[in-house]
Amino acid sequence: MAKPNIPGRTTTVIEKYGPIALSFTKYDLPIHAQNRPVKKRYALSSAVLHYFYEFLRTDYLRKHKLPHAAARDYFAVVLQAETGLRVSELLAIRSGGGSSDVDWARGRIRVFGKGKRCSGKRIRWVPLTPMASAVLSVFEQRFRSMFPISDERDYLFRDKNGKRLMPYQYARIFRSIVRKARDFGVALPEDIRLHDLRRSFATNFLEKNPMGYRQLLKNLGHTYPSSAAPYLIATDGDVEEQQTDLIDVFIDPAIDKWGKK
């Protein structure tokens, strides 16, 4: 459109073919649809999560050369699977000092979730389950003081140098834990990711509380119901049999594959 001339001639395209105009109107422009995920998405049932927790508590903790680091990993997995926090929210939790995010009196934690552009983080309170509260209490009392002191000591999750644990470090630790858990006999998918712990929480929460969808949205930090859809995995075998291309998998000891009991 910047140089509308026919090569080799002085005649312009507009003179020969008419004005250059967009062929689409606002009514027939193609609508962008979200691409279907390529990677499988998993949700671990409560039973599988229990086996996973037991592996971390009885085998991973006992064999790890740094007990405080193993306790940190155990607590991080439990807290994320029990509350559905994002990785960024999990690793940003502070405890102690003048700005603690742990409310022991009410059994909840404060997290800083995603917010709209230029609006800052969106703060919400997430309730702790009895399991998460018990593991947090033990970690705080026995293991947290074993980490080196640094200028980032207020963060709940820190690395071996006492610095704030970063997402890439946590992801690498989780991949190592999954390999060891699979060797131990826990029914974990080889390609399970940290975000699947958030899906596990959402799926199990709604299965136990069918009428608690609004509460689930609040816990996940979402406003619109459609935003929580990617975190809910079908647990009904009939649904999965009808959708042969379904890539979401609910991992349960009573289910062999694709929801078939």
Q: What is the pLDDT of residue 35?
A: 59
Higher pLDDT, 33 or 87: 87
Q: What is the pLDDT of residue 113?
A: 83
Please state, in angstroms and rounded to a whole number, the distance separating the CA atoms of residues 72 and 61. Answer: 10
Q: Is the pLDDT of residue 34 over 60?
A: no
Q: What is the pLDDT of residue 242?
A: 46
Residue 177 within a domain: yes
Nearest to 194 by CA among 170, 160, 166, 222: 170
Token code pair at residue 118: 């230029």
Q: Is the pLDDT of residue 91 over 80?
A: yes
Structural domain harbouring 103:
41-251
Asked if residue 93 lies in contact with residue 101, where contact means CB atoms within 8 angstroms, the answer is: yes
Token code pair at residue 218: 């609040």
pLDDT band at 47 (very low <50, low <70, confident <90, very high): very high
Read off the pLDDT of residues 218-244 as tens digits, 9 standing for 90 and up.
898 887 777 777 777 766 554 544 444
Please state, in angstroms and rounded to a whole number, the distance separating the CA atoms of residues 75 and 53. Answer: 9
Q: Is the pLDDT of residue 217 over 50?
A: yes
Mean pLDDT of 65-69: 95
Higher pLDDT, 73 or 249: 73
Residue 18 within a domain: no
Q: Which CATH number covers residue 102?
A: 1.10.443.10
DSSP states of the chain as a string? --S-B-TTSS-BHHHHH-----S--TTTSPPP-PPPPSS-EEEE-HHHHHHHHHHIIIIIHHH-S-HHHHHHHHHHHHHHHHH---HHHHHT-B-STT---EETTTTEEEEEE---TTS-PEEEEEEPPHHHHHHHHHIIIIIGGGSPP-TTTTBSSB-TTSSBPPHHHHHHHHHHHHHHHHHHT----TT--THHHHHHHHHHHHHH-TT-HHHHHHHHT-SSGGGGGGG-----HHHHHH-TT--EEEE-TT--BTTB-
Higher pLDDT, 49 or 249: 49
Read off the pLDDT of residues 79-90 as tens digits, 9 standing for 90 and up.
999 999 999 999
Residue 160 within a domain: yes
Residue 261 within a domain: no
Structural domain total, the chain = 1
Residue 9 within a domain: no
Read off the pLDDT of residues 124-153 as tens digits, 9 standing for 90 and up.
999 999 999 999 999 999 999 999 999 999
Give the angle subtended at the CA of 233 by the CAs of 230 and 234, to the nearest 5°.
Answer: 130
Residue 138 within a domain: yes
Residue 237 within a domain: yes
Q: CA-based Rg of the chain, rounded to a whole angstrom?
A: 25
Residue 205 within a domain: yes
Global confidence as pTM: 0.77
